[in-house]
Amino acid sequence: MASLAYLTSDFFDRDPRKVARALLGKLLIRRSRGVSLSGRIVETEAYLGEDDAAAHAAAGQTKRNSVLFGPPGFAYVYFIYGMHYCLNVSCMKEGEAGCVLIRALEPVSGIERMAALRGIELPKDPKLYKPSSLKSIASGPGRLAEAFGITRERDNGKNLTGEESDLRIAEDGSRVKNITAGPRVGIVKSAARPLRYFIADNPYVSGRKVKLPSP
DNA sequence: GAGGAGATCGTCT
DNA sequence: GACGATCTCCTCT
């Protein structure tokens, strides 16, 4: 693998739409107790500030979403539907809300560990891994959070650009082609805005049905 | 394979 | 008290 360059806060100090595009192809890396988990980001969604009705920041700053109003490059983890965590990264300068939701990853390393955290059984021989099993590890916001052991208690408010952080994002020099934009998934407000970005034809993009509001 | 509905609980009103 | 940036199981075709 090529040498890794960890992203700095400058990377996130700009419009969430630019960050969401730029994050595609980057590596999300968790290092803890000598175990390294990593996955390539293949799908993201941009959530703008208070003028984006679908964003958690739309109603202004609350105790829950205060990370969004903080400095760029911090993890905003929230609990949804009573059973899932979702990982966002704050964007823009302190005082300006904005974030990018990481929706799907292509597993790269520590696959056995991630599968175990997801409750997925893999054969001992990596050659026998089923594509469907690999896809189900992290193709969705709740799934990738579970695969990386991401929880609100553990990771909310964590600086993803700090050298001491166990959760960081890096680039390895790989280039991404065929970035496609489309409507965001699972929301009603501002659903038509094309703020979801994914790598076209990548099998690890989450496969949720998109419900568009009736005209 | 596609579509629908239930599960389950933190957060906000 | 209502709702939600989801996932999985079950049913139907």
pLDDT for the residue A102: 96
Predicted model pTM: 0.93
What's CA A209's distance to the chain center, in Å? 19
The per-residue pLDDT for A177 is 87
Among residues A195, A202, A196, A50, the alpha carbon closest in space to that of A134 is found at A202
The per-residue pLDDT for A209 is 45
Residues within 7 Å (Cβ) of strand C: A 45, 47, 54-57, 76, 79-84, 86, 88, 99, 101, 118, 136, 140-143, 184-188, 206, 208
For strand B, list residues 147-166 of chain A whose Cβ lies within 7 Å of it.
Answer: 152
Q: Are A138 and A117 contacting, i.e. CB atoms less than 8 angstroms apart?
A: no
Per-residue confidence of chain A (215 residues) as pLDDT tens digits? 578 999 999 999 999 999 999 999 999 999 988 889 999 999 999 999 888 989 999 989 999 999 999 999 999 999 999 999 999 999 999 999 999 999 999 999 999 999 999 988 888 889 888 888 899 999 999 999 999 999 999 999 999 999 999 999 999 999 998 999 988 888 878 877 889 999 988 989 986 444 333 33
- Residue ranges and CATH numbers for the domains of chain A are 5-199 (3.10.300.10)
Does the CB of A62 fall within 7 Å of any strand B atom? yes
Instruction: Verify if strand B has an atom below 7 Å from the CB of A88.
Output: no
Are residues A98 and A56 in contact, defined by beta-carbon separation less than 8 angstroms? no
